[in-house]
A and B are shown apart, each in its own frame.
Chain A
Amino acid sequence: MNIFNLLRIAYRALLRNKLRAFLTMLGIIIGVASVIAMVAIGQGSKQSIHDQLSNMGTNMITVQAASNLAGGVRIAGSSFQTLTIKDIIALKAKAKNISEISPAVTSRGQAINGALNWPTSMSGVSPEYLDIRKLTLKDGIPFTQEDVLTSAKVCLIGQTVIDNLFPNGDNPVGRVIRFGHIPFKIIGVLNPKGFNAFGQDQDDILIAPYTTVQKRILATIYYSNIYASAASEAVTDPAVTEITQILRDSHRLRTSEDNDFQVRTQQELIATLSSTSGLLTVLLTVVAGISLVIGGIGIMNIMYVSVTERTKEIGLRMSIGARGRDILMQFLMEAILISITGGVIGVMLGFLSTRIVTLTLGWPTIISQSSVMLSFVVCAVTGIFFGYYPAQKASRLDPIEALRYE
């Protein structure tokens, strides 16, 4: 008996009971559709978290002066002064996996415009900082290397500061404000970035050349941080190793000594957040997988009923020459046909419901090919697995008894 005949027989048998075949498929349809939709929603939220973080610069590496032992007492990192111009020069000369680098110093203080004032912080950085942090200007121009060399009294201003110092909607570009008694000319306005994942307002900031902050406000030669961009997200880890080695050399640390700085990447953050939404995906998939198994049990149940109901037909087929194997294949084929048809409808329904979720709720969704493939394979296997036992029962019937069955 060839596969074509088998398919024809199975197809006919299902057509004889259209409603029942459809109801049996329903379990599989819902299972497959939910696997696809759930995974799509999970993947979508994962991707959107990733995108948000990328917006902060996923390949950003931060070097921070870190706590170290000083006579047995650990000292807070921020008060520790280890990062200097020497480190920047060394990194620029030796590091191969980083594309851009900027020192940073921060000063908190009061920004004043006439009668209005606002407590904020000023970051002193190099022009590369805007690239590294993926900051863009809404208006005006960024400062240049020239401004760094001359410690120019210019700054870029964030939206929150504008709202508080220029509440009337005046254009701040070209205006002069004071910060720490020093007058700064505003040359550019930063595009708002909103709050970050930890609730910090990323727009409550002034950005000025680091030399200006170092010399005119803080009177220090040290940096509080160094920001760098890895050449790509993929080389972030080698870049970290490289930076660590270069800084250790530059700081002349002996192998027995701990680092007096900390190198951090956004990768850790991404990994943490991704693993949270990854867990969500796994949970959703498990729930959907369970519904597939239940669909399979539905198939098994109906196939058992079908075998009992068609005992006489089985007896007849055997008496006219069907071997046990032929009967087995016939019922197995029916189960597979149910599950595969259910799978195909389920995939279509999955696509449709995913689309509806995106359109009505606005949730980001990504239909992954692997989830479609997986659920399809799983339902074919479900058909075989749950169809096998009823089919085997059918194939082992005694033709004499089956023929006499009423």
Chain B
Amino acid sequence: MTKKALEIKDLKREFQMGSEIVRALKGISFTVEPGEFVTIMGSSGSGKTTLLNILGCLDKPTIGEYFLDGVDIKKLSRDELAQLRNHKIGFVFQSYNLLARTSALENVELPLLYNKDISVAERHERAMHALEAVKLADRADHLPNQLSGGQQQRVAIARALVNEPVMILADEATGNLDSRTSYEIMALIQELNSRDGKTIVFVTHEPDIAAFSSRTIQLKDGMIQKDTKNENPRSAKETLAALPVAEDYTLHS
């Protein structure tokens, strides 16, 4: 049996809010195989964000087990969790979260700075490689404010790729983008998934986006409402090609 990318067993998360106990997750179990593209959907208040934080090793479950690439995160300290995030998870955020006044290349290098096994030369090479994967190698020395929203998100994806994570965890990664740019980003993510076999967990509330993934987990009120395989995911590339050419928008490389 191959190692699961992630495995969750009867996971519960409760918060103490004053005298009340809020149950955000009420017992969730699922596994993700390496190479899967999973979207997690749910309206606000469904426990989506809480699950995302736990999947991203930013938070720990109150009860239940979470194995990331075979590692039980329950046993890890704060510092060990940081290291695990550094080695196994690539985050992509809705608002990109690039460092201002810092070049694209240096933004991509950032996770490697916290990995002391990587030399300066290797760091540089890997960051360039990651930028090539998102087709932004020619903008390596641009600052975030010199890039469009879509380009900034691609830099952020390169940053998530650079440490060769087990899983890319995207949080509403297309939420700030117009539909054309969203499709570009989805096309890139699909490519990373199908060509490079990257495991992708994509949290979103847009059903439109979920159609591009191979599996959708629907959350409601802290429980899994539906877990459906999508045998025929839409191709973002084709959707993009079908869009009418907008005159006010020039496509960059």
Binding site for B on A (CB under 8 A): 1-2, 5, 9, 12, 16, 312-313, 315-326, 399-400, 403
A326 contacts across to B, CB distance below 8 A: 82, 114
Binds A, one of B99-107, B182-190, B219-227: B99-107
Q: How far is the CB of A54 from chain B (nearest CB, A)?
A: 60
- A147 and B236 CA atoms in complex are apart in Å by 121
Question: If the complex has contacts A325-B79, A400-B58, A403-B93, are A320 and B111 also in contact, measured as CB distance less than 8 A?
Answer: yes
- A316 and B59 CA atoms in complex are apart in Å by 15
- A315 and B86 CA atoms in complex are apart in Å by 13
* Chain B 199-219 residues near chain A, CB threshold 8 A: none
A5 contacts across to B, CB distance below 8 A: 113
Contact A16 B110 (CB under 8 A): no
A320 contacts across to B, CB distance below 8 A: 85-86, 91, 110-111, 114, 159, 163
B75 contacts across to A, CB distance below 8 A: none
Question: If the complex has contacts A321-B115, A400-B59, are A316 and B97 also in contact, measured as CB distance less than 8 A?
Answer: yes
- A318 and B79 CA atoms in complex are apart in Å by 10
Chain A residue nearest in CB terms to B95? A312
Question: If the complex has contacts A317-B110, A321-B114, are A312 and B97 also in contact, measured as CB distance less than 8 A?
Answer: yes
Name the residue in A2, A16, A319, A326 with the highest tally of chain B Cβ atoms < 10 Å from its Cβ: A319
CB-based closest 7 A-B pairs: A321-B86, A321-B114, A323-B82, A320-B111, A323-B79, A316-B97, A16-B101
Chain A residue nearest in CB terms to B79? A323
Question: If the complex has contacts A323-B78, A323-B79, A325-B79, are A12 and B102 also in contact, measured as CB distance less than 8 A?
Answer: yes
A313 contacts across to B, CB distance below 8 A: 99
B83 contacts across to A, CB distance below 8 A: 321, 323
Asked if B53 lies at the interface with its beta carbon under 8 angstroms from chain A, I say yes
Q: Which of A16, A321, A325, A400 meets B87, CB within 8 Å? A: A321
Contact B99 A1 (CB under 8 A): no
Interface string of B97-140 (1 = CB under 8 A from A): 10111100000001101111000000000000000000000000
Size bracket, chain B contacts: 20 to 34
Q: How far is the CB of A403 from chain B (nearest CB, A)?
A: 7
* Chain B 52-89 residues near chain A, CB threshold 8 A: 53, 56, 58-59, 78-79, 82-83, 85-87
Excluding A319-B91, A326-B82, 16 further A-B contacts by CB distance (< 8 Å) are: A16-B101, A312-B97, A315-B97, A317-B110, A317-B114, A318-B58, A319-B85, A320-B86, A320-B91, A320-B110, A320-B114, A321-B82, A321-B87, A321-B111, A323-B78, A323-B79
A319 contacts across to B, CB distance below 8 A: 56, 58, 85, 91
- A325 and B80 CA atoms in complex are apart in Å by 12
Q: Which of A9, A316, A324 meets B113, CB within 8 Å? A: A9
- A322 and B99 CA atoms in complex are apart in Å by 15
- A321 and B79 CA atoms in complex are apart in Å by 9
Q: How far is the CB of A378 from chain B (nearest CB, A)?
A: 32
- A339 and B191 CA atoms in complex are apart in Å by 49
Q: How far is the CB of B201 from chain A (nearest CB, A)?
A: 15
Q: How far is the CB of B48 from chain A (nearest CB, A)?
A: 14
- A322 and B115 CA atoms in complex are apart in Å by 9
- A399 and B89 CA atoms in complex are apart in Å by 15
Q: How far is the CB of B141 from chain A (nearest CB, A)?
A: 14
Cross-chain pairs A/B with CB under 8 angstroms, 18 sampled: A1-B113, A5-B113, A12-B102, A16-B101, A312-B97, A318-B82, A319-B58, A320-B111, A320-B114, A321-B86, A321-B87, A321-B114, A323-B79, A323-B83, A323-B114, A400-B58, A403-B58, A403-B97
Contact A399 B79 (CB under 8 A): no
Q: How far is the CB of A228 from chain B (nearest CB, A)?
A: 72
B99 contacts across to A, CB distance below 8 A: 313, 316
Question: If the complex has contacts A16-B100, A399-B58, are A321 and B85 also in contact, measured as CB distance less than 8 A?
Answer: yes
Chain A residue nearest in CB terms to B82? A323
A400 contacts across to B, CB distance below 8 A: 53, 58-59
- A319 and B53 CA atoms in complex are apart in Å by 10
B110 contacts across to A, CB distance below 8 A: 317, 320
A321 contacts across to B, CB distance below 8 A: 82-83, 85-87, 111, 114-115, 163
Name the residue in A2, A323, A400 with the highest tally of chain B Cβ atoms < 10 Å from its Cβ: A323
Q: Which of B78, B86, B93, B116 meets A324, CB within 8 Å? A: B78
Name the residue in B56, B79, B82, B163 with the highest tally of chain A Cβ atoms < 10 Å from its Cβ: B82
A317 contacts across to B, CB distance below 8 A: 110, 114
Chain B residue nearest in CB terms to A396? B78
Contact B100 A322 (CB under 8 A): no
- A326 and B79 CA atoms in complex are apart in Å by 10
Contact B53 A1 (CB under 8 A): no
- A251 and B110 CA atoms in complex are apart in Å by 90
B78 contacts across to A, CB distance below 8 A: 323-324
- A399 and B163 CA atoms in complex are apart in Å by 19
Name the residue in B99, B100, B111 with the highest tally of chain A Cβ atoms < 10 Å from its Cβ: B99
Q: How far is the CB of A313 from chain B (nearest CB, A)?
A: 6
- A318 and B87 CA atoms in complex are apart in Å by 13
B101 contacts across to A, CB distance below 8 A: 16
- A324 and B99 CA atoms in complex are apart in Å by 19
- A326 and B83 CA atoms in complex are apart in Å by 11
Q: Which of B85, B111, B116 meets A2, CB within 8 Å? A: B116
- A213 and B113 CA atoms in complex are apart in Å by 91
Q: How far is the CB of A13 from chain B (nearest CB, A)?
A: 9
- A318 and B111 CA atoms in complex are apart in Å by 10
Q: How far is the CB of B102 from chain A (nearest CB, A)?
A: 7
- A9 and B163 CA atoms in complex are apart in Å by 19
- A143 and B82 CA atoms in complex are apart in Å by 92
Chain A residue nearest in CB terms to B98? A316
Name the residue in B56, B97, B113, B163 with the highest tally of chain A Cβ atoms < 10 Å from its Cβ: B113
A316 contacts across to B, CB distance below 8 A: 93, 97, 99
Chain B residue nearest in CB terms to A1? B114
Q: How far is the CB of A311 from chain B (nearest CB, A)?
A: 12
